[in-house]
Amino acid sequence: MPAGITEDMVSALARDRSGLVHASTADRVTELLRTHIMEGLFPPGTRLSEEAIGQALGVSRNTLREAFRLLCHERLAVHEMNRGIFVPVLTSADVADIYKLRRLIEGGAARLAGGASMTSRLAVRATVESGEDAAAAGRWFEVRTADLRFHQAVAALAGSPRTDELMRRALAELRLIFHVMADPEQFHAPYLERNRTIADLIVRGDGQRAEADLRSYLADAERQILAVYQIPAPGTEP
């Protein structure tokens, strides 16, 4: 019978560490509201009443306020003093800003394709394939999800947890814009092929071309959104 715990066993357990953190109520409420806002349950502009939501979820106002603060911090809600929490109404300027950020991050990450691990490169292609499958089956909302995951996977080529997190937030904001737009088929169908092209370039390790393709891709998408999504910033054009 062996004497004790070995070095290996310790490090094996250390890897499980993240699996046993139980989240606080505020965190779970945040997560819940986050998905609801992203899925479009609350249309932009809706006020999120403390009383109503607190009662619906069975949590106290104080706990709920912690959750609201977090949502505001990641721009999935906006706080107006003494008025309450609202689902944000993103402006055209926001769209442009998000795309600027995406070009910076995704473009830069794609360029690193050659140096990225093969695992993460194949992960990009996997998202493309799941998008193609969903399109073949006509499930266009899944296509949208796959598309967002594609871009997430591209950003992940940078191999930086902070970048991943940042990208997740940017794409969450983008969802707010998407689901007040036309149906996903019309918007996403043309990009399936371009995703495939970029994924192939990435797997091949041609970061240079992948970046160029991605940049023009993002520029096109931005133009297309701005053509139909015209919401002015508050204070300009009342």
Partner DNA sequence: ATTACAGGATTGGTGAACAATCCAGCAATA
Partner DNA sequence: TATTGCTGGATTGTTCACCAATCCTGTAAT
Binding residues (CB under 7 A) for DNA: these are 24-26, 47-51, 58-63, 65, 79, 81-85
Count of CB atoms within 10 A of residue 24's CB?
12
Binding partner at 51 among a copy of itself, DNA, none, C-beta below 5 to 8 Å by kind: DNA
**Separation CA 193–CA 163 (nearest Å):** 26
CA distances from 45 to 28, 38, 65, 140 (A): 23, 13, 18, 26
The item of DNA, a copy of itself, none sharing an interface with residue 56, based on CB under 5 to 8 Å by kind, is none
Tell me the closest approach of the beta carbon of residue 202 to a copy of itself, in angstroms. Answer: 16
Q: Which does 162 bind (CB under 5 to 8 A by kind): DNA, a copy of itself, none?
A: a copy of itself
Q: Which two tokens stand for residue 106?
A: 């995704």
Q: Which residue has the tokens 């290996």?
A: 8
Query: How far apart (Å, rounded) are the C-alpha atoms in residues 56 and 133?
Result: 38
Between 11 and 119, name the residue whose CB sits nearer to a copy of itself: 11
Give the up-direction half-sphere exposure of residue 217: CA atoms within 13 A in the CB hemisphere.
26
Q: Which is nearer to a copy of itself, 36 or 169 (CB)?
A: 169
User: Least Å distance between CB 232 and DNA?
Assistant: 20
**Distance, CA of 37 to CA of 172 (rounded, Å):** 9
When the beta carbons of 26 and 124 are compared against DNA, the nearer one is 26
Q: Which residues bind a copy of itself (CB under 8 A)?
A: 10-11, 14-15, 17, 21-24, 26, 62, 65-66, 69-70, 73-74, 79, 81, 97-98, 100-101, 103-105, 107-109, 158-163, 166, 170, 234-236, 238
Nearest by Cα to 155 from 225, 102, 93, 191: 102
CB 45 → a copy of itself: shortest distance, Å?
Answer: 18
